[in-house]
Amino acid sequence: MSRETTLVEPTIARSVEAARTAVGAAREAGQRIGLVPTMGALHEGHLSLIDHARHSCDFVVVTIFVNPTQFGPRDDFSQYPRTWEADLEFIRERRSQLVFAPSAEEMYSACHSTVVCPPKVAETLEGEFRPGHFTGVTTVVLKLMQIVAADVAFFGEKDFQQCLVIRDMVRDLNVPIEVNCCPTIREPDGLAMSSRNRYLSPDDRQQALSLNRGLELAKSMVARGEREVSAIEAAVRACIEASGAGSIDYVAIRDSDQLGFMDVLDRPAVLLLAVHVGSARLIDNTRLDV
């Protein structure tokens, strides 16, 4: 779909009631509704999700909410970038009809106590290194799905495990919504687009490129016939360590459906990385289908 440059002023809803009213009017008009949940600080990765939503939906809702419940005590909630004016300009260009941008108080009342227990696929990797993170994610995403009541929700595959978590939550709880996971968008140098990339110094960025080099190394090893998971993981870890990047949380090859452990590549797999570079924690992944 070609990008349209005409600016469209979206409706901005700050309350649950206002969002429901706008979506309800679109529903009554027979429009197909798309939901793009974000925490703001939008980049081309987010904008590609909006493009996917506009391609298949009539009415697109972008949410901007930095969700406090998915940040742990060592995470960067207070420093997470808030770029409202720039975000709104991007959304105007992409011609989304509604922006839902609630406050924390609107989303979580003083007596709020209900949370969503994440599915089994959330237990490993990010679930190990960021305890409680996926509880916050599933809770806020389910709330957004209840408020917006869209036909389709769009997420990015850069957060591969999150996509599986949302997919399984929607399936297990019979939420009437389609989950569409869209391809990772990369910078010209190969770095996966992320709101946290702005934390990287020039030296940090050079080290961060080792993540993509590691992914490409793994794919080349598989193409040459390597099937031993431990050998591929070790080579990727060595590639990242050689760059001088900070600590590695994980370099893990898992099956791409439930993130189960594998000894050999005998079914569709995904390589997932989490690495500290400077003050940023970066994640990335690639599929390893044999």
DSSP state of 175: -
**Contact present, 249 and 262 (Cβ < 8 Å):** no
- Residue 26 belongs to what H/E stretch? helix 16-28
E strand or H helix at 104: helix 104-107
Within 10 angstroms of residue 244's Cβ, the number of other Cβ atoms is 12
The count of C-alpha atoms lying within 13 angstroms of the C-alpha of 157, restricted to the half-sphere facing its C-beta, is 13
Reported in sequence order, the residue ranges of 82-149 that DSSP labels E, i.e. its strands, are 98-100
Spatial separation of the C-alpha atoms in residues 277 and 191, rounded to whole Å = 12
Pull the structure tokens for residue 103: 């406050």
Tell me how far apart the alpha carbons of residues 37 and 166 are, in angstroms, rounded to a whole number: 12
DSSP 3: P
3-state secondary structure of 62: strand
276 is catalytic: no
Whole-number Å distance between alpha carbons of 112 and 66: 17
d(CA 210, CA 2): 33
**Phi-psi domain of 102 (left: phi exceeds 0; alpha: psi -120 through 50; beta: other):** beta
Strands 59-64 and 11-13, by their bridges, are unpaired
Single out the catalytic residue among 46, 52, 112, 133: 46
Q: Enumerate the active-site residues.
A: 46
